[in-house]
Structure 1
Amino acid sequence: MASISETSDDGSNGGDPNQKPEEPHKNPQEGKEEENQNEKPKEDDHQEEEVENVPQIPPQMPLELIVSTIATLRRCHYPTLSLLSDSFRQVISSVDLFQTRSLIGSTEPVLYTLITFTSPNFEEPRWFILQRRNNTSLQLSLVTSLPPMFPGCTTVTIGHKIYVMGGLRSLNRRAKTVFVIDCRFHTWRYLQEMQVARSYAASAVIDGMIYVVGGSTKRSDDWVEVFNVETNTWENVPSVLSPYGRSKAPFNVHFVLDNKIYILDGNNRVAYDLRGRRWEDWGPAGNQLGYFWQVLYCVVDNLLYAVVPDHLHVTPIVVYDPREMGWRPVMGVDYLPNLVYSESRMTNFGGKLMILGCYQSQARFDYYGEVNVWCVEVALERREDGEIWGKVQSLSLVNKFRKSPVFVLSRTVTV
């Protein structure tokens, strides 16, 4: 599935990825509020907040000076700054500002998570964004300008963009649809469709190319295809198929490590070498690698981190190094909050582990019967002796819903 977030809305094509817009959605209107959302914080909530340590602004300040000034500030201050003048609003919504931020190294990671609600009826997944308010507290907000995603879509991130591919248009009807989301402005547009309709496929990026694997009938000539983002074209990648795995398995569990896509296909564990364009069996280390990463996992600095199931009674977080081909504990983390980790999502957030989830049983509800969503922030440190240490930096209540959320996936972009 896919993810992205912020605030604005789409009036012409707001909820249907099947309807192709003639032009990219630049300034969509705000859509109706989700029934399942108790509070939908918006960036407008920041407008009354004061920006600390910002000097007085001359009334006729040159645009170049505004760009260089704003580019050094945190994005959480932008809503307030946009109230100063039309010039400030113009700069904040400009490409020049984000180019300057990239040049001076002031870009920030932003987390998007795709959420659906299954009770009483299934709902199409929508993007939410996790952002800081007042430069301190975290808030999970709906991105109203983005349409619902197809269930079973697959996503990758490149810089400030999220690419969304395939999914289910309806029961047993796969999609070839591809579109890209610009997370700087929360606009989106369609790209060239895939050559094969896919759902629950695996995907990865290497050398600026997007690979999509599986999600369709297993054949040697088109089970893998690659997308060139520069030319907006797809190409099939013929390959000798792995004898392991099923023919139409959904790849709900997969990750990218050391330029390979590792896939859990039923009880089978296979890997696709992106550079070599060949399939591999995991070999003797495969069983050990697959021991922990089936529940909650993500990759940081080419190391695989996983939350250990409660019944194993070992350290809460473990790490897998492909060079050592073995798991070891993340030191310093003695406990984690009692979330339902099988229903949570963990993401690499600028080198930290960010976990979104809900508490177990009655603890997940507040006094009014609403479901609380929590974010756990874990900082990581690699020490000179090679050991990985972690520290739970915060546990934050980031939103409340009237229905139980299902966290489809989480992605981090840089803006």
Structure 2
Amino acid sequence: MSSSKKEQSPEPPSLIPLLPEDIIIDILSRGRWCDYRALSLVSKHFRSLVASHELYARRSLLGCTERRLYVALSNRETTSHNPYILCLEANDNHRLVLIPWPTHVPHVGSFVTVGSKIYAFDMLNRYHHLPIPSIDRRFQTVHLVHCMNATMDVSVAGVIDWKIYVTGFTKIPWDTSAKMVMAVFNTETQIWESATETMIGRPYGCVVMAAFVSPMAEDNISDEAINLMAGKMYTRDARNSFVYDPKEGKWETDKRLNMFKWEGGCVVDDVLYYYDIRGGKVLRAYDPRKSSWVVVKGLERLVADGRFSESYYTGSCDGKLVLFFSKDRRIKGIRSAQISLERRHHQGRSEILG
């Protein structure tokens, strides 16, 4: 072997693993949550640190909070569902990061945030006889609350004034119709209040307009949840749209809202948004104060890019609307767009620009 060919000296080892563990945790806690997934692949040691209770306790102590949007994605080939977090990059190069999820917490269902906790309700309510899991996002720990005091076939949930309203339906014997049932969980007392039967219907997608705001809330979740506007809950079944006023304790129908078969919607600043895949593939907005629908303008290019997509979904994060849609029927992948919204009044009419 020629003497000119010298063996390359190995790269010096990283000094971080040589530091005391409490110092490593202090360094990691100041980083971005979205980078933890990559750090967990470095070594088993880093994997254990990223999953440790101490790391999240340190982040909470330092006040390291981030806006995060949780997304559940399904694989049509394997029928599996996995939870991700959408990381919003400064250069608009957003990415979905797979996150660890407790095995006994549903991957698919209705999720609501109250303070620092995520409450998970199985969409089909197959486990209504079991305690309801709640995840503390600060420490990545799971706690169990009392099982629901009502049996319902499908459950969707929303939050108003620290109370979780869970709505589903029960089948009526000797009848093809179903009766809606509501159960209320008080997150402050951790007690389920009395369940009530409400009206005939089968809720399959809900929105709560007048979105619940918590002093500790830092995350949003994209799911099939109740939507809140003006302190009321909005839901629909295959035929009708309904409004529930918790102060009055009663449901009413909303004919204007029922003009379109909205689903997969979300609320931003007390306005309901949903992507109408059946009616021209446009983003529609419903203002409950004016009981009126408008088409969001300025999204023509975005709509054109997604014209071959089969599925769409909306979410809200940091006061903006996030639109998810598949690339097209043949290509696997998800696109996302973060949309800023602006209301304008033009010639006596209100319009929304995106």
TM-score w.r.t. the length of structure 1 is 0.60
Decide whether aligned partners of structure 1 residues 145 and 77 sit closer, same or farther in structure 2, where only a CA change above 3 A counts. Answer: closer
Residues 232-279 of structure 1 deviation map (CA, whole Å, 9 limit, x = unaligned): 21111446x33xx33xx3x22211112222221221222221232211
8 Å Cα contact 2:57-2:139 kept in structure 1: no
Aligned with 1:114 (options 72, 76, 95) = 72
Q: Which digits, 9 at most, give the CA deviation of each residue in 1:83-127, with x for residues without a partner?
A: 9xx9x98997143532553xxxx73321111223343x543x332
**Quick check: which has more Rg, 1 or 2?**
2
Alpha-carbon distance between aligned partners in 2 of 1:175 and 1:204, rounded to the nearest angstrom: 20
Is 1:202 matched up with 2:156? Answer: yes
> 3-state SS of the aligned residue for 1:97?
helix
Unpaired runs of at least 5, structure 2: 1-18, 210-229
Aligned equivalents of 2:135 and 2:121: distance in 1?
Answer: 11
Against the structure 1 CA distance between its residues 272 and 325, is the aligned structure 2 distance closer, same or farther, given a 3 Å change threshold? same
Q: Which amino acid aligns with 2:184?
A: V
Cα 1:144–1:373 change in 2 (3 A) is same
Distance in 2 between residues matched to 1:81 and 1:151, nearest whole Å: 24
Equivalent residue, structure 2, for 1:28: none
Q: Whose strand fraction is larger, Structure 1's or Structure 2's?
A: 2
Partner of 1:329: 295
The match for 1:158 among 111, 114, 126 is 114
Q: What are the within-5 Å matches in structure 2 for residues 70-81 of structure 1? A: 75-76=33-34
- Distance 1:294-1:387 versus aligned 2 partners, 3 A rule: closer
Aligned to 2:236: 264
In the alignment, what sits opposite 1:343?
A: 311
Describe the superposition over 1:61-91 as per-residue Cα deviations: whole angstroms up to 9, x where unpaired: x99xx79x976x75456789999xx9x9899
Q: Which runs of 4+ in 1 moved over 6 A?
A: 77-83, 88-92, 218-222
Q: Partners of 1:339 and 1:148 in 2: how far apart?
A: 38
- For 1:377, give the aligned amino acid: Q
Letter in 2 for 1:165: F
In structure 1, give the amino acid aligned to 2:247. Answer: R
1:389 maps onto 2:353 in alignment: yes
Distance 1:262 1:225 in 2: 16
**Corresponding residue of 2:336:** 375
348 and 360 in structure 1: CA distance in 2 versus 1, 3 angstrom threshold: same
Inter-partner Cα distance in structure 2 for 1:277 and 1:229: 19
Measured against aligned partners, the alpha-carbon deviations of 1:267-324 in whole angstroms (never above 9, x if no partner) come to 1222221232211122xxx2x32334524421101111122336537xx322211111
1:378 is displaced (CA, Å) by 1.4
Q: What's the C-alpha RMSD, in Å, of the aligned pairs?
A: 4.0
CA distance in 1, matches of 2:271, 2:96: 27
Q: Report the CA distance between 1:211 and its aligned residue.
A: 1.0
Q: 1:185 to 1:131 in 2, by over 3 A?
A: farther
The correspondence for 1:193, drawn from 126, 147, 153, is 147
For 2:102 and 2:310, how far apart are their aligned partners in 1?
27
Shift in Å, 1:376: 1.9
- The one-letter amino acid of 1:204's match is G
TM-score, structure 2 normalization:
0.69
Q: Shift in Å at residue 164 of structure 1? A: 0.8
1:276 aligned to 2:248?
A: yes
Contact 2:323 2:338 in 1 (8 A): yes
> Would the aligned equivalents of 1:222 and 1:236 in 2 still touch at CA under 8 Å?
no
Q: For the Cα contact (< 8 Å) 2:125–2:153, is it kept in 1?
A: no
Say whether residues 1:180 and 2:134 are aligned partners: yes
Counterpart position of 2:329:
361
Aligned length: 298
Aligned residue among 93, 111, 115 for 1:137 = 93
Q: Aligned in 2, Cα 1:160/1:357: closer, same or farther, shift over 3 Å? A: farther
Does residue 224 of the first structure (1) align with residue 160 of the second (2)?
no
State the distance in 2 between where 1:358 and 1:148 align. Answer: 29
- Asked whether the 8 Å contact 1:78–1:92 carries over to 2, the reply is no
Query: Which of 154, 157, 167 is the matching residue for 1:213?
Result: 167
Question: Greater CA deviation, 380-389 or 183-192?
Answer: 380-389
Aligned match for 1:302, one of 256, 265, 270:
270
- The change in CA–CA distance for 1:311 and 1:304 in structure 2 (over 3 A counts) is closer
C-alpha distance in structure 1 between counterparts of 2:277 and 2:165, whole Å = 31
Cα deviation digits, residues 149-200 of structure 1 (max 9, x gap): 5487322112332101244476xx7555411112334332221111123342
Mapped partners of 1:133, 1:268: distance in 2? 39
Distance 1:128 1:81 in 2: 16
Does the CA-based 8 Å contact 1:272-1:279 persist in structure 2?
Answer: yes
Answer yes or no: is 1:320 the counterpart of 2:286. yes
